[in-house]
């Protein structure tokens, strides 16, 4: 599927700020089932952008704006060709083993951390899923476990905005039974890890297909599970399906904290409000004027002047321990 995706972020500040430093993870990954044909990044106020790969192989674009400003606009446009991975979970040959040992490079995806917290209620849920699968087969298969997790989340949890925040640990969705794609993803990552199955967080976009999918209007999040016979397999706990050609993968990580589309710090008292709009479109042909990667400047103003520096808590942090 040939997709064009426009991801617009508007950051507005209630007062002038300065010295913004930002990092973006918005460029789709280059992968076996996904080719990034083009990535265009427009930023205002005008700034030089530096890109690099982080330790997980995600593309990061970093920039800074030192002069006073009160808004930042970022428009990332990608053209991506996706190929359906054609995975059949019920046909996977892998048998589940509680004590299986994996290559050490998967260690990070087996450990709990950040919002993916290990709690008794998570353990309870994962053992009930394991029991339901083990009841049907003496030696449960990984594929059946993944399907059972997807089904369980689909039936027991409700998609609802405003219950959780981007910083919510999975204890919240376990308690309220409600959340958004990020919570569903963290939950499934936690379930897999509690059964000693490596799992990672994927952030990206979903192209709406007859409005069949939940949470399509925004950036999306889903899960990748490591299956020894196949490698990483993407599944979407929010929509109870395999991540197929409608999914555009931008960044992978241990949890959301590794992959936020944008993060930054700035100086000033102004409060930040953020508006995000994602628009996707299926293309019939590859556009002829396509550039592999390009940055451009948006016409957003900066202002002259100076503001007082923030010096709070400084003493406490200065007391950081010395050896």
As a whole number of angstroms, the distance between CA 267 and CA 311 comes to 11
CA distance 43 to 206: 23
Rule CB under 8 A: choose which of 62, 217, 283, 300 binds another protein.
62
Site string for another protein, 2-41 (x = CB under 8 A): -----------------x-xxx------------------
The answer to whether 106 and 53 are in contact (CB under 8 A) is: no
317 belongs to the binding site for another protein (CB under 8 A): yes
Segment holding 118, helix H or strand E: none
Backbone angles phi, psi at 221, to 5 degrees: -140, 140
**Torsion sign over Cα 154, 158, 162, 167:** negative
Among 30, 66, 127, 165, binds another protein (CB under 8 A): 66
**Residues contacting another protein: total by CB under 8 A:** 34
Supply angle C-alpha 211, 215, 217, rounded to 5. Answer: 75
Please give the DSSP secondary-structure letter assigned to residue 113: B
**54 vs 293 by CB, closer to another protein:** 54
Q: Is 271 in the site for another protein (CB under 8 A)?
A: no
Please state the closest distance from residue 139 (CB atom) to another protein, in A.
27
Burial 250-261 (b: 16+ CB within 10 A, else e): bbbbbbbebbbb
Task: Name which of 108 and 154 has its Cβ closer to another protein.
Answer: 108
x/- map, 251-270, another protein, by CB under 8 A: ------------xxx-----
- The residue (of 22 and 187) whose beta carbon lies closer to another protein is 22
- Looking up tokens 């039974």 gives 177
> Is 315 near another protein (CB under 8 A)?
yes
Q: What value does the CA radius of gyration of the chain take, rounded to a whole number of Å?
A: 21
* Site mask for another protein (CB under 8 A), range 103-132, x = bound: -x--xx--x---------------------
Residues that bind another protein (CB under 8 A): 19, 21-23, 48, 50, 52-55, 62, 64, 66, 104, 107-108, 111, 263-265, 309-315, 317-323
């Amino acid at each position: 599927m040939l997709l064009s995706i426009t991801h617009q972020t508007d950051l507005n500040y209630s007062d002038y700020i300065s010295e913004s430093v930002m990092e973006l993870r918005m460029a789709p990954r280059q992968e076996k089932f996904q080719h990034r044909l083009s990535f265009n990044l427009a930023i205002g106020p005008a700034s030089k952008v530096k890109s690099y790969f982080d330790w997980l192989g995600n593309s990061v674009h970093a920039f800074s704006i030192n002069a006073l400003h009160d808004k930042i606009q970022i428009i990332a446009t990608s053209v991506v060709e996706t190929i359906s991975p054609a995975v059949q979970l019920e046909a996977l040959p892998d048998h589940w083993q509680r004590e299986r040992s994996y290559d050490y490079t998967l260690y990070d995806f087996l450990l709990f951390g950040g919002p993916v917290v290990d709690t008794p209620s998570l353990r309870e849920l994962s053992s009930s899923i394991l029991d339901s699968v083990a009841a049907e087969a003496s030696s449960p298969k990984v594929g059946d476990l993944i399907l059972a997790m997807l089904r369980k989340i689909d039936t027991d949890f409700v998609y609802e905005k405003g219950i959780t925040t981007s910083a919510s640990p999975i204890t919240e969705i376990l308690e309220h039974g409600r959340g958004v794609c990020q919570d569903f993803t963290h939950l499934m990552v936690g379930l897999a890890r509690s059964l000693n199955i490596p799992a990672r967080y994927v952030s990206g976009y979903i192209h709406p297909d007859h409005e069949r999918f939940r949470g399509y209007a925004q950036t999306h999040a889903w899960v990748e599970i490591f299956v020894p016979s196949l490698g990483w397999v993407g599944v979407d706990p929010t929509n109870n399906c395999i991540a197929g050609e409608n999914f555009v993968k931008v960044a992978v990580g241990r949890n959301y904290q590794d992959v936020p589309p944008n993060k930054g710090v700035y100086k000033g008292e102004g409060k930040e409000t953020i508006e995000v709009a994602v628009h996707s479109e299926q293309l019939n042909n590859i556009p002829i004027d396509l550039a592999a990667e390009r940055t451009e400047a948006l016409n957003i103003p900066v202002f002259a002047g100076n503001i007082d520096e923030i010096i709070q808590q400084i003493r406490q942090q200065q007391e950081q321990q010395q050896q």
